[in-house]
Structure formats: C-alpha cells, structure tokens
Structure 1
Amino acid sequence: MAQDLLTTLNAAVDAVVVALAGCRDWGPTGLKHGQFGFDLAADVAATEVLQQAGLRVLSEESGLEHGDGPVAVLDPVDGSTNASRGIRYFATSICVVNEREPLAAVVHDHGSGERFEALRGGGARCDGETLQPPEPRPLAECVVGINGWPPGRGGWAQYRTLGAAALELCAVAAGRLDGYLDFSVSGLGSWDYLGALLVCAEAGVEVHDGHGRDLVVLDHQSRRAPVAAPSPLVDELMAVWDRLSGDTAAG
C-alpha cells in the first residue's frame, strides 16, 4: 500500500507540472489574498488524481473533504509569491496522513526539477538517492532558513529567507541548510510543512513546533511554527526560537 501511495502522489505532482506548463493565468484571483490563477489550476489537477485514488484532500486552496480514510494534505504551489514574480523557487507538496500519522510524502521543486519522496519507516530520497542524516554544525557556523522576520540575533552565522517552507525544510533534510525556524506572525498551515516534515523525519532531522504543539493537524484554520534541525542542534534552535519569540501560544 505504501508504494501505491507514492505512485499516486507522484502522479498528482506530474499532473500539476502539466497544468502549470499550460497555465496562462499567473495573476491574482481576487478571491483570497495571496491566491493566484495558477494556484487554482494546480489544485484542480492534483485533487482530481488524489480523489480518483480514493483519498480525501485537505488543500490550502479548497479546504478539507469530509468523510473517513486517509487524507492527502496538499499545497498545490508552495511559494506562490515567488512563482508569481518569476522566482523559480516554488514547490508542490503532498503528504498522506492516516490517524494523525504521516504515511507518504512527495515534494517537487518546480525550479530545479528535484523531487523528494518519503515513506514512513522507509527512508527519504531526493531523485532516487537516499538522504543520509546530516551532520549538525555548531550554531555559530550554521546557515539557517527562516520564515518571517527574526526579532533579534540568533547566534547563527547566516540566514536565508527563500519563501517556500517545504523546499527549505527539505534543504535541511538534504544538509544544504543547517536548520529552519518559522518566525512569521501568523505561522504556517499544515500543507506548508507536512510533506517536508516526513522527508525530514526519515532523513534523521527533527521537526518541532515552537510552542510544543502537535504538528500533524487537519484543521484548515490551525497554524504552527516549525523549527527543524538534526539533534542536538534542534534543541539549541528551539531555545533560540523561544528566546526571540516568547512562548505565547497561538491558534
């Protein structure tokens, strides 16, 4: 079943690639802030494949379908602002969740063509190559990915704000970034990070919510603040997040 899930997720991502290649509407929809025509085209393409496979869908663009059984948590285009401005750093992320446990995930980088895959208990891969647990560096030597604006100095060497959480978290899994922290005011929806969360977990990278809440949520309104890194660096980043943000739980 697990391999069948990956086959379905890859087919859904392939459908998005085709939809985006043929999409002519890259402007705002006017329906929702930050939503573009290509978001809806990608959503329709992926959702059709996922539903045909018998999966319910929780999408950033179209909410959660009621019913029973596994749920495919879908971000049709993660990094929509990048895509709308011609910045080739955006992704499609899908994670299948069963009883609040991630089972399978695919994150596709539309800029580079790289594809990350993960199966619960089956490891993580990038373009078919198994991801090995990255070696943590001392915090003072780290380059971390950040969402939002850090309200102070974190003690790392440098940071990057790249605008696509799924890809930045996968970059931690691949050892390209040393860690990731979300400092945004509103936080991230589960579709932003769940696919990459499973990739990270299967590659030996820990992902926590800054406030200590469960990251596997299927509520369209809930938001979280992911912090990711290999152990023991993740503990240092959690302490930095707490110091800079303050532990005031939200949402």
Structure 2
Amino acid sequence: MPRPCPPGRTRPKRWSAATASPPLADSRLMRDDVLAVLNEAYRAVVEGLGSLADWGAQGSRPDQFACDIVADEAAFKVLDAAGVGVVSEERNAQGLERDIVVVVDPVDGTSNAIRGIPYYAISLCAVDRQGMQSSLVVNLATGTRFEAVRGQGALCDGRSIVASDCSTMEAAWVAVCGHPRQEHPWRHMRAFGATALELCDVARGLLDAYVNTDVDAIAPWDYLGALLVCHEAGAVSTDGLQRPLVTTDPAARRAPVVAATPSLLAEAVGYAWPGQAREIADR
C-alpha cells in the first residue's frame, strides 16, 4: 500500500522513461514532475542492481566497480529521457546548459555495499537557476528514503524531519570524514563511509553534525542530495574554505561541514578549519 501523502504535499505522479517524450521538452519541469523523475531513476537503479551477480567486479578505474556502472547506466537512461542535464560520478557531464541539472551519485558508499555493510545509497539532486530544487536519497540496503523540495521541508519515509537542537560540541554526536587534526572535542565520533546518508542522519537528528577535514575530498554528487534535505530540516552548512557548496561543476571538490545549529556549526568549523571559525561565528 502506498504511504499516505503528508499534509500540504501532493503525491508526485509517476513518470516513466517508457512514455517516450519528456514531461516538458525544454526541461522546465514542475517540482512534482522533477521529484517523479528522481523517483523513477531510483527505481531503475534498484531494478538494475537486482540483476547484478557480482557487485564488486572491477570497473575502468581503481575506485569504480560493477555496481557503480550498472547503477549509473540505469539512472542516466531515465534522466536523459526526461530532458535534464546530468552530472554523475561515473560519466562525463552532459547538458549543463539545461534549465535543470541532476547531480547524481548512483551508489554512494560503494565500499560498504561490496562488503555487505548496509549503509550505502543513491543520491540525486535537481539543481535549477535558483539552486537546489528537489532531492532524493535512498539507502539501497534498507530502503529508508529521504526527500526534500525547496521551501517545503524534508521527509524521511514520508514523515517530516527536523535536525536536533544540539548547540555544543561537547554534547554532539558527529560523523567525520578525513583524519581528525587534533584530539576531538565532541561527545561521540562516527565514520560510516557514506556522506549522503551521514548528512541525512544529521537532518533527522540521529547525528548532530558532519565534519570534513580534507580540502578536496568530497564531490558535489556526494553531498548535494542530502544537503537540501539538511537545509529543509533546519540544519546549517558551510565549506571549510568558504567556497560555495551548491555547484554543478563536476571538477569541484569541497569540504562540507554541516551542523544542527549555527553555534554548533561555528564550533565544528573552529575544530576542523580554525582559520574560518570567526567568520562563521559572525554571520
């Protein structure tokens, strides 16, 4: 049975690449149309991976595997048919001039997937001229799904979510990417290996912050889908070096820091990127 649609939201209609023509040829899709396309891409990925015998077969580069390739092909077929641009970890960017560009990581947390650790996801974010418009992140092992639409809040499995009210590092549960630069000040530290899901766990209050300590480790497809979920859930974010986080440049690399509250964000940046802490605190 379909999940009930939350108050104030209309259920996205199901769009299918099999219906031949894109919903709108010029890519100026309505928000529900976009979310329907993201959902269709997710379903195509699940179907593609369901028939894959060896997820860990080596791809064309050292950090690419069969599951990445199969998932990317499935998602791209749907997105391209919908008339949107596509920026993916697994292929050259296409259609960056289009009104809507979908930034996708077909399998975020591939190493977890190959080892059977149930913490890996597909992440999709539709970006328009105003920024992040719609996003969908789904844990491919458990089916837990997160979605957000700009200005309409964030959902986990159909229910509204909000970030925690944690305001100090000494009380915070923090996910970390990279090597801590010094003895950490937070209450608990976790490193789960899938940025999209870690950020979504900040959005729903399971974690209080996400800290990245590497300058150029994280690509837009790793974090954009979950970043919109975080923002719509009330969390705040920055880049460790004050670069814009919202970008469709496939060559861009960032150091995102996300926290439940502004004061916690300032402390997190002060730990990971001490030179930027005062600027964050003064905002």
Same fold flag (TM > 0.5): yes
Displacement of 1:46 after TM fit? 0.8
- CA deviations 1:15-35 (Å, max 9, x no partner) are 111111111232243411210
Residue matched to 1:40: 69
Cα distance in 2 for residues equivalent to 1:128 and 1:181 = 27
Equivalent position SS for 1:76: strand
Distance change in 2, residues 1:163/1:245 (3 Å): farther
Q: Is the 8 A contact 1:100 1:217 kept in 2?
A: no
Give 1 or 2: higher strand fraction: 1
Mapping 1:191-206, distance limit 5 Å: 191-206=221-236
* Count of aligned pairs between the two proteins: 246
Equivalent position SS for 1:64: coil
Q: Is the 8 A contact 1:16 1:42 kept in 2?
A: yes
- CA deviations 1:27-50 (Å, max 9, x no partner) are 243411210001010001111111
Cα distance in 2 for residues equivalent to 1:61 and 1:114 = 24
| Identical pairs, percent | 43
Residue matched to 1:183: 213
Structure of higher CA gyration radius: 2
Counterpart code for 1:166: A
Cα distance in 1 for residues equivalent to 2:249 and 2:57 = 25
Q: Which moved more, 1:71-80 or 1:106-115?
A: 106-115
Cα distance in 1 for residues equivalent to 2:117 and 2:275 = 29
Cα distance in 2 for residues equivalent to 1:133 and 1:172 = 6
Q: Which moved more, 1:23-32 or 1:124-133?
A: 23-32
Counterpart code for 2:270: A
Structure 1 alignment gaps of length 5 or more: 247-251
TM-score (normalizing by structure 2): 0.83
Displacement of 1:138 after TM fit? 2.6
- Of 91, 111, 118, the match for 2:121: 91
Cα distance in 2 for residues equivalent to 1:104 and 1:88 = 25
Structure 2 alignment gaps of length 5 or more: 1-29, 278-283
Displacement of 1:185 after TM fit? 5.7
Displacement of 1:202 after TM fit? 0.3
Q: Is the 8 A contact 2:84 2:100 kept in 1?
A: yes
Cα distance in 1 for residues equivalent to 2:136 and 2:198 = 14
1:240 and 2:271 correspond: yes
Mapping 1:219-234, distance limit 5 Å: 219-231=249-261, 232-234=263-265
Q: Is the 8 A contact 1:210 1:225 kept in 2?
A: yes
Displacement of 1:101 after TM fit? 0.2
- Of 197, 214, 225, the match for 1:167: 197
